[in-house]
Amino acid sequence: MTSNTESARTPPARLVEMVVRTLRHEVGDLLQSVYSAVAILQERLPRGQNLERTILGDLRGRAEACKNELDATHDLLCPMALQVGWVELSELAAGLVASFALRPSGLQIRCDAPRPVKVWGDAQKLGQIGTLLMLALCQSARSQILTCVACREPKGEAVWSFSHDGPDADPEQLRWLNEPFGTTREARFGLGLALARRVVELHGGRIEVGASDDGGFRIALILPLESAEGIRND
Produce one character per residue of 79-109: b if its CB has 16 or more CB atoms within 10 Å, e if not: ebebebeebbbbebbbebbeebeeeeeebeb
The answer to whether residue 105 is domain-embedded is: yes
Residue 215: give its domain's CATH number.
3.30.565.10
Phi and psi (nearest 5°) for 178?
-105, -20
Higher pLDDT, 201 or 50: 201
Whether residue 129 sits in one domain with residue 99: yes
Q: Flag whether pLDDT at 225 surpasses 60.
A: yes
Q: Helix H segments across the chain?
A: 4-9, 12-44, 50-77, 89-101, 123-140, 171-178, 187-202
Whether residue 135 sits in one domain with residue 105: yes
Whether residue 35 sits in one domain with residue 144: no
Whether residue 194 sits in one domain with residue 124: yes
The answer to whether residue 163 is domain-embedded is: yes
Whether residue 29 sits in one domain with residue 137: no
Mean pLDDT, range 149-158, rounded to an integer? 83
At 198, the pLDDT band (50, 70, 90 cuts) reads very high
C-alpha–C-alpha distance, residues 48 and 45, integer Å? 9
Whether residue 106 sits in one domain with residue 167: yes
Most confident of 30-34, 123-127, 230-234: 123-127
- pLDDT tens column, 80-119: 888 889 999 999 999 999 988 877 667 888 899 888 889 9
The answer to whether residue 170 is domain-embedded is: yes
Of 51, 77, 103, the residue that ends a domain is 77
- Tell me the whole-structure pTM to 2 decimals: 0.77
Residue 71 makes CB contacts below 8 A (sequence gap 6+) with 24, 128
Phi and psi (nearest 5°) for 105?
-95, -20
Residue 35 makes CB contacts below 8 A (sequence gap 6+) with 60, 63
Whether residue 193 sits in one domain with residue 93: yes
The answer to whether residue 219 is domain-embedded is: yes
Give the pLDDT score at 211. 78
Q: Measured at the alpha carbon of residue 201, what is the angle toward residues 195 and 207, in degrees to the nearest 5?
A: 70
Residue 4 makes CB contacts below 8 A (sequence gap 6+) with none
Whether residue 131 sits in one domain with residue 34: no
Whether residue 56 sits in one domain with residue 161: no
Per the structure, the complete domain to which residue 9 belongs is given by 4-77
Domain count, the chain: 2
Of 77, 112, 141, the residue that ends a domain is 77
The answer to whether residue 168 is domain-embedded is: yes
Give the pLDDT score at 6. 44
At 161, the pLDDT band (50, 70, 90 cuts) reads very high
Q: Flag whether pLDDT at 126 surpasses 60.
A: yes
